[in-house]
Amino acid sequence: MKEHYDIVIIGAGAIGSAIARELSRYKLDVLLLEKNVEIGGEATTSNSAIIHTGYDAKPGTLESKLVVGANPMYDQLCDELDVPFKKVGAILAAVTEEELKALPQIMKKSYQNGVYDIEYLTGEEIKRREKDLSDDVKGGIYIPRESIIDPFILNIAYAENAYTNGVDVSLSTKVTDIKTADNRVKSVVTNKGEINCDYIVNAAGVYCDQIAEMVNLCDFKEHPRKGEFFILDKNVSYELDHIILPVPTKLTKGKLITPTIHGNLLLGPTAEDIEDKKDKSTTREGLESIIEDVQKRVPKVSARDSIKQYAGLRPTRTPEGYHIESYDLKGFIGLSGIRSTGLTSSPSVAKYVVDLLNEEGVKLIADPDFNPNREGIRKFSELSWSEKEELKKENSKYGQLICRCEEVPEAEIIAAINRPLGATTLDGIKRRVRPGAGRCQGGFCKPRILKILARELNIPVSEILKKEKGSKVISRSKI
Ligand SMILES: Cc1cc2nc3c(=O)[nH]c(=O)nc-3n(C[C@H](O)[C@H](O)[C@H](O)COP(=O)(O)OP(=O)(O)OC[C@H]3O[C@@H](n4cnc5c(N)ncnc54)[C@H](O)[C@@H]3O)c2cc1C
């Protein structure tokens, strides 16, 4: 780390990492700080993984502008950063007369948001496109640009690309205070020491109120809105090609079912306002409500196909809404209320923040060496038989299959560890190359991954973490 930075970004979730990448286009000294041991954020690790169109945003809001603006950026972004992304489209399906009556209003809102490429579908048209939907489906709306993505890889790719373009990244570094002088920010205080800087970007997700309090600029509250999910096995007795959305009510957007980019089905999320910023527990009521709601549209859905249940926390602001602001205190840029669409809006939020920094005095001199491209890890499971054989001849570690469920060879795991900002934990490996994300949830491969991590990082197996500090996987030094 340097003694002084032009800009320090707090939080390496999708938002902070996207801002870091956007700033790496310019000749600036930038530092990305993350309290956790791995890149990847918190909200960013547990979401519906949908790149929204913004059809249902509140018209005229900053959220509407940034989400609607972000969606068309994804073809180029995912191409440059080698991120798995697919435009599957969504079908919003009405199953009651009352829901059917609500559709014109939803279409009107979509047009108000500038999302015109949507289409009304009759019940028969929907059944032709998705045969496993309920016979109760009476009609709906097709939203072709609602898309699915790998959210972990998006976040990691932003940070990796920022890093290879010169942004410094410091993990396990928690901001505990901010010092100011002469009505300007002066430094951030962390568990690893004090870092001088001219500008600070608060991208701390659900903790953004705590950061804002450090400079007495917290006139809001950021609380978690918990969302519970099911992930289903890849082998279920029905098929879905689209994201299937319920008709939203005044109270909730409801629970969806969507294919994931890796071929599972994802169900959820619930929406429960809570106080505890660490409470990622699932509940019986929450999970039961998901199955009950989704079955109204897809009757074959069953909790018995579940391979994992988990919860994520949306950073929710009171008063609600996206806020991206500069203040009388020079050099402080605050983000808050980036709630349930922040994955989608991350590239447009990043541009918006860089613009704001420019207005606040940051000189944007393009760096001619900026390289927008990143090469991801080659996925063995997606190769043809002959390509697999070729790779095994080149590198025998491709012949060592570590995860049977997701077909992950040792060579991919080694690549995940030895990349820029590489994985150091079990979850870090899972998010990059997916061992442990399949049917057995790591039952077979976990001990072998622990050994590979220990060998590659040159540390005892007993030191390997699942994800956070204090999450050691075993207490003995030998397995
Ligand atoms: C249930 C659910 C469903 C969602 N579905 C979607 C969806 O389908 N599509 C979509 O676009 N969005 C969705 N979202 C929203 C999306 O996940 C987030 O908006 C997005 O990932 C951006 O998160 P973030 O970077 O703001 O926050 P985070 O990912 O939480 O990152 C903030 C980071 O700041 C770090 N930090 C906090 N305090 C400090 C400190 N003091 N010092 C250093 N670091 C600190 C944290 O450790 C964390 O890594 C969903 C969210 C949830 C929870």
User: Which pLDDT tens digit goes with each residue over 205-222?
Assistant: 999 999 999 999 999 999
pLDDT given at position 451: 96
For 371, half-sphere exposure in the C-beta direction (CA atoms, 13 angstrom radius) is 10
Collect all residues with Cβ–Cβ distance below 8 Å to 285 and sequence separation of at least 6: none
Cα(472)–Cα(458) distance, rounded to whole angstroms? 16
Atom of ligand 1 minimally distant from the CA of 15: 25
Q: Are 8 and 188 in contact (CB under 8 A)?
A: yes
Give distance in angstroms: CA of 48 to centre of ligand 1: 12
Residue 477 in this model has a pLDDT that exceeds 60: no
- Mutation choice for ligand 1 from 17, 19, 44, 145, CB with most ligand atoms inside 8 A: 44
Quick: pLDDT tens for 98-150: 999 999 999 999 999 999 999 999 999 999 999 999 999 999 999 999 999 99
Give distance in angstroms: CA of 51 to centre of ligand 1: 14
* Mean pLDDT value of segment 384-404: 96
Quick: pLDDT tens for 300-323: 999 999 999 999 999 999 999 999
- Ligand 1 pocket, residue 347 CB under 6 Å: no
Give distance in angstroms: CA of 350 to centre of ligand 1: 14
Atom of ligand 1 minimally distant from the CA of 342: 19
pLDDT given at position 435: 94
* Mean pLDDT value of segment 423-447: 94
Nearest CA to ligand 1 atom 33: 11
Confidence of residue 252 (pLDDT cuts 50, 70, 90): confident
Structure tokens, 160: 């990796």
Nearest CA to ligand 1 atom 27: 205
- Ligand 1 pocket, residue 46 CB under 6 Å: yes
**Which residue type, as a one-letter code, is found at position 320?**
E
Collect all residues with Cβ–Cβ distance below 8 Å to 288 and sequence separation of at least 6: none
**Which CATH architecture describes the domain 1-84+149-220+319-376?**
3-Layer(bba) Sandwich (3.50)
Percent of the chain residues topping a pLDDT of 70: 99
Atom of ligand 1 minimally distant from the CA of 36: 47
- Ligand 1 pocket, residue 57 CB under 6 Å: no
pLDDT given at position 29: 98
Give distance in angstroms: CA of 163 to centre of ligand 1: 20
Collect all residues with Cβ–Cβ distance below 8 Å to 113 and sequence separation of at least 6: 54, 55, 56, 57, 59, 64, 68
Quick: pLDDT tens for 433-444: 999 999 899 988
Q: Are 355 and 362 in contact (CB under 8 A)?
A: no
Quick: pLDDT tens for 54-68: 999 999 999 999 999
Give distance in angstroms: CA of 12 to centre of ligand 1: 9
Catalytic residue, candidates 52, 223, 242, 262: 52
Residue 352 in this model has a pLDDT that exceeds 90: yes
**Which CATH architecture describes the domain 380-463?**
Orthogonal Bundle (1.10)
- Ligand 1 pocket, residue 156 CB under 6 Å: no
Cα(479)–Cα(471) distance, rounded to whole angstroms? 17
pLDDT given at position 468: 84
Atom of ligand 1 minimally distant from the CA of 190: 42
- Mutation choice for ligand 1 from 47, 421, 467, CB with most ligand atoms inside 8 A: 47
Q: Are 425 and 37 in contact (CB under 8 A)?
A: yes
* Mean pLDDT value of segment 42-53: 97
- Ligand 1 pocket, residue 68 CB under 6 Å: no
Q: Counting beta carbons within 10 angstroms of the beta carbon of residue 84, is it exposed (0 to 12), middle (13 to 18) or buried (19 or more)?
A: middle
Confidence of residue 474 (pLDDT cuts 50, 70, 90): confident
- Ligand 1 pocket, residue 212 CB under 6 Å: no
* Mean pLDDT value of segment 413-429: 97
Q: Which CATH superfamily is domain 90-144+224-313 in?
A: D-Amino Acid Oxidase, subunit A, domain 2 (3.30.9.10)
Sorted by where each begins, the domain ranges of the chain are 1-84+149-220+319-376, 90-144+224-313, 380-463
- Ligand 1 pocket, residue 435 CB under 6 Å: no
Give distance in angstroms: CA of 279 to centre of ligand 1: 14
Residue 469 in this model has a pLDDT that exceeds 80: yes
Q: What is the dihedral of CA 107, 119, 128, 262, to 10 degrees?
A: -90
Residue 52 annotated as catalytic: yes
- Ligand 1 pocket, residue 334 CB under 6 Å: no
Atom of ligand 1 minimally distant from the CA of 174: 42
- Ligand 1 pocket, residue 350 CB under 6 Å: no
C-alpha separations of 41 from 48, 136, 142, 206 in Å? 15, 40, 32, 10
- Ligand 1 pocket, residue 415 CB under 6 Å: no
Residue 290 in this model has a pLDDT that exceeds 80: yes
Residue 478 in this model has a pLDDT that exceeds 60: no
* Mean pLDDT value of segment 246-260: 89
Percent of the chain residues topping a pLDDT of 90: 94
Residue 306, beta-bridge partner list: 232
pLDDT given at position 122: 98
Residue 470 in this model has a pLDDT that exceeds 90: no
Give distance in angstroms: CA of 317 to centre of ligand 1: 13
pLDDT given at position 476: 58
* Mean pLDDT value of segment 284-288: 97
